[in-house]
Amino acid sequence: MKHVAKKRFGQNFLTDQSVIASLIEAINPQIGQTIVEIGPGLGALTKPLLAKIPHLHVVEIDRDIVSWMQAEYARPAYANNTVAIHNVDALKFQFITLGEHLRVTGNLPYNISTPILFHLLDNVAHIVDMHFMLQKEVVERMVASPSTPAYGRLSVMLQYHLAMDYLITVPPEAFEPAPKVESAFVRCVPHTTLPFTAKDEKHFAKIVLAAFGQRRKTLRNTLKGLLDDAGFAALDINPQLRAENLHLAQFVAISNYLV
């Protein structure tokens, strides 16, 4: 199929076979697992996954690609495979309808990768692990440590729920068309037991959002009206620090102090 990548869907198709082999090795698909691929495109990951497992769920918004998949995976070569195609926006797909113990993977559209990650957090109780190709800058933010330039709201919110590993860097030339940025593959595994537990996760998210809302301002300013000097003292947190200087545990402590 000659498919012209559509910018509105953020399509960049992975073509480098050595990179693909590395990704499949990292995913390590096993028979009997429920695996869901977001944005299967022209089968760069789909086909080698189907060489390992008989059944796969795919979530694809592009109707042209869906039509191609319906024909492609009906061929005799895939007689022993079933591909359940969900023609829907990944941001609207209810992953919990597929059951428990899901393994989610994909080359996520870079233009909506962060919203997809947050959407998946709503389904995290049903997910075993996730492996994603993302813009390198996003992966660096996901795994960043406090007091580093990449550390921010995304780091805190994802690290609250997930243990993450930056696996490999992937150059632009591994894709067609080549993106203007480097990419990276990341593994995300939900914590079996949360390292720090917020009494109210929505309130915790509100605190993190407020703290990073004006990144260059101090916590005294960003949390004004939420946490006073007595609160900072009780928590042993310097109000002259910025949000980027706080550890996950300290954000949880602030939230729990206030609820």
Predicted local distance difference test score (pLDDT) of residue 12: 79
Domain CATH code at residue 238: 1.10.8.100
The tens digit of pLDDT for each residue in 15-30 reads 999 999 999 999 999 9
Region 135-142: mean pLDDT is 97
Among 135, 169, 190, give the residue marking a domain's end: 190
Higher pLDDT, 126 or 7: 126
The tens digit of pLDDT for each residue in 47-88 reads 999 999 999 999 999 999 999 999 999 999 999 999 999 999
Q: Could you tell me if 127 and 190 are in contact, meaning their C-beta atoms sit under 8 angstroms apart?
A: yes
Domain that holds residue 251: 201-258
* Total structural domains within the chain: 2
The pLDDT confidence band at residue 11, using thresholds 50, 70 and 90, is low
The tens digit of pLDDT for each residue in 248-258 reads 999 999 999 99
Tell me which range, 178-182, 213-217, 235-239, is most confidently predicted by mean pLDDT. Answer: 235-239
pLDDT value at 176 more than 90 = no
The tens digit of pLDDT for each residue in 195-211 reads 999 999 999 999 999 99
Q: Which residues pair with 185 in a beta bridge?
A: 133, 168
Higher pLDDT, 179 or 202: 202
**CA distance linking residue 254 with residue 221, whole number of Å:** 15
Region 84-106: mean pLDDT is 96
Is 216 found in the same domain as 131? no
Region 169-197: mean pLDDT is 94
Residue 231 domain flag: yes
Q: Could you tell me if 203 and 255 are in contact, meaning their C-beta atoms sit under 8 angstroms apart?
A: yes
**CA distance linking residue 189 with residue 128, whole number of Å:** 6
Residue 148 domain flag: yes
Higher pLDDT, 117 or 5: 117
- Write the CB contacts of 4 (distance below 8 Å, at least 6 apart in sequence): none
Predicted local distance difference test score (pLDDT) of residue 9: 44
pLDDT value at 112 more than 70 = yes
Predicted local distance difference test score (pLDDT) of residue 179: 85
Nearest partner of 23 among 149, 125, 175, 159, judged by Cα: 175
Residue 195 domain flag: no
The pLDDT confidence band at residue 7, using thresholds 50, 70 and 90, is very low
Is 116 found in the same domain as 21? yes
Residue 74 — φ and ψ, nearest 5°?
-95, -5
SS3 230: helix
